[in-house]
Amino acid sequence: MNSSTPQKQSGMTLIELVIAIAITAVVGLISANLLQAMTANNQQIAEHNEKLAYLQRSLRIIQADLDHISLPIRSNKLPEGDDLITARGSSEPGLLLEFTRFRSQPSQKPPYEKLERVRYQIIEDTLVRKTQPVGHPVNNSDWYSQTLFSNIRSAEFSFLFAEWLNEIPDSSNSPLKAIQLAIDHEQWQELTLISLASGAKI
């Protein structure tokens, strides 16, 4: 009499197959979410670095402007006329400060410095820098305009004589020692730049 031997089952049962598929799907979903999060994080880092580079560039421009202001030496030691124009002395809307600065031209042979008129203005919530070569007729449409900061809450120039003042005084026993720009920005909070006059101490 032949006895039948049970055959060993090979392969996966349906339940094991379903579980394996479910595990694979969960792992795939987790991996996809991780990849998406990493991509979003990298994009945020790239955007932040781009904004930071723009911030540094704008601050360098402002610092260079203030460091190269052209102020004639006078016995009364005070800026006069068009040397430094603040909001008080201008009808230009939103004007913070207007002045003349030296700008070097290294590409010229031989290199030389030219004079450039510079304006800082607030237009809505934006700090705008405008420039025009000295010697051109003053025409508002001819100014080259450049946005330095958007989303600013306030911006203010201060001037150091014997003490810090918000305006150029009519008289002072002290020369202009420094100019400061303080910006209250929505993202960067408080930004402050100070330019010292040559040889000045504070």
Does the residue 187 lie in any domain? yes
Top-confidence residue, 108 or 152? 152
In a domain, 22, yes or no: no
31 lies in some domain: no
Asked if residue 138 belongs to a domain, the reply is yes
Please write the tens of the pLDDT for every residue from 50-68.
989 999 999 999 999 999 9
CA distance 77 to 188: 36
Q: Does 18 fall in a domain?
A: no
Q: How far is it, in rounded angstroms, from Cα 93 to Cα 119?
A: 11
- 8 within domain boundaries: no
Q: What pLDDT is stored for residue 74 in this prediction?
A: 43
As separate numbers, helices (DSSP H) first and strands (DSSP E) second, the chain gives 1, 9
3-state secondary structure of 53: helix
Report whether the peptide linkage leading into residue 106 is cis, meaning its omega lies within 30 degrees of zero: no
- Give the CA dihedral 79, 82, 86, 91, nearest 10 degrees: 150
What domain count does the chain have? 1
Q: In this predicted model, which residue has the larger pLDDT, 10 or 19?
A: 19
Grouping H, G, I as helix, E, B as strand and the rest as coil, residue 52 is helix
Domain that holds residue 112: 64-196
Tell me how far CA of residue 199 lies from CA of 28, 40, 169, 175, in angstroms. Answer: 66, 50, 21, 11
Domain presence at residue 9: no
CA angle, 95 then 52 then 198, to 5°: 55
In a domain, 24, yes or no: no
DSSP letter assigned to residue 4 = P
pTM of the model: 0.72
Q: Percent helix, strand and coil across the chain, each rounded to 5?
A: 30, 35, 35
**Given pLDDT bands bounded at 50, 70 and 90, which one contains residue 16?**
confident
pLDDT value of position 186: 92
